[in-house]
Structure 1
Amino acid sequence: MKHNDINVDEISNTTKLLLYKQSPNITSQLNFENSDTFLEPLLFAFFNSPTYSENGEALLKELMQGYFANPTSLQLQYLYNNSNIAYIPNKGYYNRHKKLIEAPYYLDQNKTIELIKTYTPLLSPIFRDKNEQPLDPKLVEMDKALFLKNKADLKNAVQCIEKTSPSHFKLIQKCCSKLCVFKADPKHTNSFASNNVLGMAFLNAYQDDYGEAFFVDDIAHQSGHAIMFMFWFNKQEHFILDPNAPLAPILENPKEYRSFYVLFHALYTYYTSTLCLDNCITANVFNDKEKQEALARIGFYLNKYKYDLVCFEKFCAHYKGVVQVIKEPSIQLYATIKEQYIKMIREYGDIVKDYTYTNQPYNFTFSNFIEVNLKN
């Protein structure tokens, strides 16, 4: 996928229209020439919230005041979290006295990717459990202590991707301007990105020993979802068949719960994770432990990669070929995904072929890997 394959103007024009319908007055205070204003991830969270119409205009003004062309006196009431901290995009973090206590924190030198420091109420509906039901906020840890613990590894990971995968990093900059680190038991939720908050990825740092290799992987993985949400913003340009068609009946596998859309998303994240991990290994940016973990993660993904490529091919064969299922932009993307798998097998197949993953949960766990692979 190339940088110009994603039409952010179409996406920002959609939010411009929604903003105007909600409040012409607020819209008039924004710079229409700046697309970034209308790609603010929390703006998508606002419009996709089931209760956004409650206090809608007042909340929207609080949210967007950091982008006003001519700043007005600070308005704050609805953005405060349970710790009495309010995050205003493009401005920073404020206390109950409307005093700026911390500026936004960026992970790259050009200040294009921001790490959110604390919980904000607009994100509450975004967190979902395994059954897609709203997750109790008490089950999600997102505070300054977690931010401080992980910010160095996150910054190093982002800069490793920027250094070793510059072309792909441009896609991340374009499609994933904010990262949020949280901690929750994976039985409740995993790392994720959401179509309800475009331009943002959520990283579950639930294991205390996570380091650079994990964050390179998880940033690449979850920003991969964020990229795909924007790439497929207009699904009619990409799909001939219904992308939500279930796989189970065609694959004759009743345990296969996914749709074709979810399968394609998964394949792209295998591409992004192996691409970034491979480039970091090749550039020798990891220490020995992180390199071993990166290799183990590549092996873990290659197993999933192979299985899902077979699923993809079977699904398309059922409809007499890929050209009967998806259109050209996505056909080329699939070719790139498949080429990456072949490249990874060629480079790492002999290294990872004897790795054992029998004790791995859904999320790769390096300590489990070491336990059963130590002799190797």
Structure 2
Amino acid sequence: MGTFIEIQNGLVQSGNEMLIENIKLLLFKFDPDIFDRIDFDNDSIYQEPLLFAFFNSDSQNIYSLNSILAKYYLSNDPLITISIESDLHGRIYLPGLGWMITRIPNQVFVLNCAKGELKLTRESIDIEFRFEPIEFIEGTRIELLKYPLSLLDRFYYDPYNNIVEVEIEEVSAKQNNHLKLAFDLIRQHAPQHLQLIEAVVTKCVIFNVDTALRNSFATLSAQGIGFFNSYQDTYNEVFFVDDIAHQTGHVIFNALIYEVENFIAVSPALVLDTVVLSNGSLETRDVYTIFHALYTYYATFICLDACLKVKAFIGYKKHEAMGRMAFYIRKCYSDIGLIEKPKNGEYPANKLFTPNGLVIYNELKSIFMEMAKEWGPQVKHFDLSNQPYNFNYSIFLASNPIDELS
């Protein structure tokens, strides 16, 4: 058996391969001739997160699929013409290419490539547009989706499953630099973990809405995207190191335990606890949810620990990072307790998990114990009693003045 990072890499690769095969099958069922227009062997096609969103959508619009695959259609046949549709802002997003921004919303156009340049027409009339290239986060292969996409709108919902309106464009421009700084810190100080992130994550979104309505998240229905809610004006690179690790941790774990029956021995929906959230709603914590949570704590520990050990943060930023470390040590302790000492007494860890699952669980527990030993003595005096479900540094600072930090 290899190191834990080697185990993760192997399982993620296996999970990715199964996800790719699923997308290939869905594409074939949707259009049996589609592989005449794209390169069947180009696996990067089938890891496009918007394909996951498309096939998990109730409305599978051919124009949406054409936009998603436009780059690959054109690579296979530069002379092809493609029908695509602008959104309510007049924008057309072409993954792998960029944004075509017109003045005409909700309109179908014909896209082709004339003399190596993209061209839009409508009823044989050329349509003016401004082209904006894809924005990659410096030092990574991960794209920042700086505008909203209608295909992702349904993932922004409140605790009662009502769709909520989120702001993306302004907050992305405002927090772009903090996001880049955070990825750079992870790249410098936890490079193996960044490689693992890049094995599954190709895009991210910064959005802004009250966290009582929607937290940061990731979803298998848009596998490959991390969604970061930058709700507070004070969020900085410390927040993003935490949130990147957390949300991309979900994406990694989706692939890592994709064949969940190979890792969880009971029903994944077996409820171990029920939590009252700060907004008053109830969250049931089943085995699958807790397993995911433990992995996100692990990912966050790896990244925060790496930054703290090299003194990447000073002053208030160090104070915040230490507060976040304390917060996750306590949350992880609580969730491990649900596994080690289940409330119903019937399902200890060796019954909840298969042998493969136990290997992962024991590694996650080992990292927790390491973090508790390393940082516990330095953070045990922090008052976290009034922290909401998500760590809030403003509240933490009020309860733990910075001069208390040794």
TM-score by length of 2: 0.84
Which residue, out of 31, 36, 39, partners 2:44? 36
- Quick check: 1:316–1:322 contact (8 Å CA) kept in 2? no
Report the CA distance between 1:342 and its aligned residue: 0.9
Q: Which amino acid aligns with 1:346?
A: K
Report the CA distance between 1:323 and its aligned residue: 3.3
Counterpart position of 1:147? 172
- Quick check: 2:262–2:357 contact (8 Å CA) kept in 1? no
Mean Cα deviation higher: 336-345 or 204-213: 336-345
- Secondary structure of 1:187's partner? coil
Counterpart position of 2:131? 101
- Secondary structure of 1:179's partner? strand
Structure 2: distance between partners of 1:74 and 1:160 = 43
Q: Is structure 2 residue 363 aligned with structure 1 residue 339?
A: no
Counterpart position of 1:217? 242
Overall identity of the aligned pairs, in %: 32
Which residue, out of 86, 89, 92, partners 1:86? 92
Q: Is structure 2 residue 66 aligned with structure 1 residue 61?
A: yes
Q: Is structure 2 residue 129 aligned with structure 1 residue 121?
A: no
Report the CA distance between 1:134 and its aligned residue: 4.1
Structure 1: distance between partners of 2:347 and 2:88 = 55
- Secondary structure of 1:24's partner? coil
Counterpart position of 1:196? 221
Mean Cα deviation higher: 326-335 or 276-285: 326-335
Which residue, out of 26, 29, 49, partners 1:21? 29
Structure 2: distance between partners of 1:304 and 1:66 = 44
Report the CA distance between 1:288 and its aligned residue: 2.5
Q: Which amino acid aligns with 1:173?
A: E
In the TM superposition, what are the counterparts of 1:1-376 in structure 2 within 5 Å?
Answer: 1=4, 2-6=8-12, 7=14, 8-52=16-60, 55=61, 57-68=62-73, 69-70=75-76, 71-72=78-79, 75=82, 77-78=84-85, 80-96=86-102, 97=127, 99-109=129-139, 111-131=140-160, 133-136=161-164, 139-143=165-169, 145-248=170-273, 257-315=284-342, 318-319=345-346, 321-374=348-401, 376=404
Structure 2: distance between partners of 1:107 and 1:237 = 35
Distance 1:33 1:315, change over 3 A: farther
Structure 2: distance between partners of 1:73 and 1:308 = 54
Distance 1:297 1:142, change over 3 A: same
- Quick check: 1:92–1:100 contact (8 Å CA) kept in 2? no
Counterpart position of 1:252? none
Stretches of 4+ aligned residues off by more than 4 angstroms? none
Structure 1: distance between partners of 2:91 and 2:162 = 22
For the pair shown, which has the larger CA radius of gyration, 1 or 2?
A: 2
Unaligned 5+ runs, structure 2? 103-126, 275-281
Structure 2: distance between partners of 1:191 and 1:336 = 25
Structure 2: distance between partners of 1:341 and 1:324 = 21
- Quick check: 1:165–1:276 contact (8 Å CA) kept in 2? yes
Report the CA distance between 1:363 and its aligned residue: 1.5
**CA RMSD across the alignment:** 2.0
- Quick check: 1:274–1:298 contact (8 Å CA) kept in 2? yes
Report the CA distance between 1:169 and its aligned residue: 1.2
Structure 2: distance between partners of 1:72 and 1:313 = 61
- Quick check: 2:20–2:47 contact (8 Å CA) kept in 1? yes
Report the CA distance between 1:158 and its aligned residue: 0.8
Distance 1:285 1:351, change over 3 A: same
TM-score by length of 1: 0.91
- Secondary structure of 2:215's partner? coil
1:201-239 deviations in Å (ceiling 9; x for gaps) = 100000011101000000000001111111122222222
